């Protein structure tokens, strides 16, 4: 077996640019929320329609994380009938091109990804 160099302990230092990634890829809803906001501002109830598998609590957390990262803005309207709207910021909009590349990659490798998950699930105990 070849000798591998150890990973440096400061690979992800506190000030490392990688810690500024606006959302974690383990937050499986962030990219989907951005996709929902691609056509313009949406109310929470509108987002819940395509994201119906997401609990309101988790959707709220995802929206807050995206807002904190500067990718989404939250507007509370004076008219209660209008409520609250979420919209992509210019910074968030700049994420759409890289995300589109990811969406395209997933579409291209969809069958391979499903096959890999199925193989893993068949060999792993539940």
pLDDT tens track of the chain, all 126 residues? 678 787 677 666 665 555 556 555 457 788 889 989 998 999 999 999 999 999 999 999 999 989 988 999 999 988 888 789 999 999 999 989 988 888 898 889 989 999 999 999 999 776
> Which pLDDT score, from 0 to 100, does residue 116 have?
93
> Does residue 11 sit within a domain?
no
Rounded Cα distance between 118 and 113, Å, is 9
How far is Cα 103 from Cα 57, in angstroms, rounded to an integer?
Answer: 25
CA 90 to CA 75: how far, in whole Å?
15
Q: Are 108 and 100 in contact (CB under 8 A)?
A: no
- Quick one: pLDDT at residue 75? 95
Range of the domain at 27: 17-94
Report the first-to-last Cα separation within the chain, whole angstroms. 32
Whole-number pLDDT of residue 4 = 76
Return the pLDDT at 5. 80
Q: What is the pLDDT of residue 94?
A: 93
Specify if 50 maps to a domain.
yes
User: Is residue 113 domain-resident?
Assistant: no
**Strands (DSSP E) along 2-115, which ranges?**
42-43, 72-76, 84-88
Alpha carbon distance 40, 88 (integer Å): 7
For residue 40, the model assigns a pLDDT of: 92
Is 53 among the domain residues?
yes
Q: What is the CATH number of the domain that holds 29?
A: 1.10.10.10
**Residue 118 domain-assigned (yes or no):** no
Asked whether residue 34 is assigned to any structural domain, the reply reads yes
In a domain? residue 116: no
Does some domain include residue 69?
yes
- The tally of domains found in the chain comes to 1
> What's the pLDDT score for residue 24?
57
């Amino acid at each position: 077996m070849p000798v591998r160099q150890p990973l440096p302990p400061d690979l992800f230092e506190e000030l490392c640019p990688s810690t500024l990634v606006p959302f974690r890829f383990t937050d499986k809803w962030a990219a989907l929320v951005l996709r929902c906001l691609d056509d313009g501002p949406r109310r929470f109830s509108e987002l819940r329609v395509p994201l119906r598998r997401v609990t309101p609590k988790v959707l709220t957390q995802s929206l807050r994380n995206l807002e904190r990262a500067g990718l989404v803005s939250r507007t509370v309207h004076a008219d209660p009938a209008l409520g609250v709207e979420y919209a992509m910021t210019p910074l968030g909009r700049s994420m759409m091109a890289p995300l589109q590349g990811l969406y395209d990659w997933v579409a291209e490798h969809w069958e391979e990804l499903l096959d890999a998950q199925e193989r893993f699930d068949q060999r792993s105990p539940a």
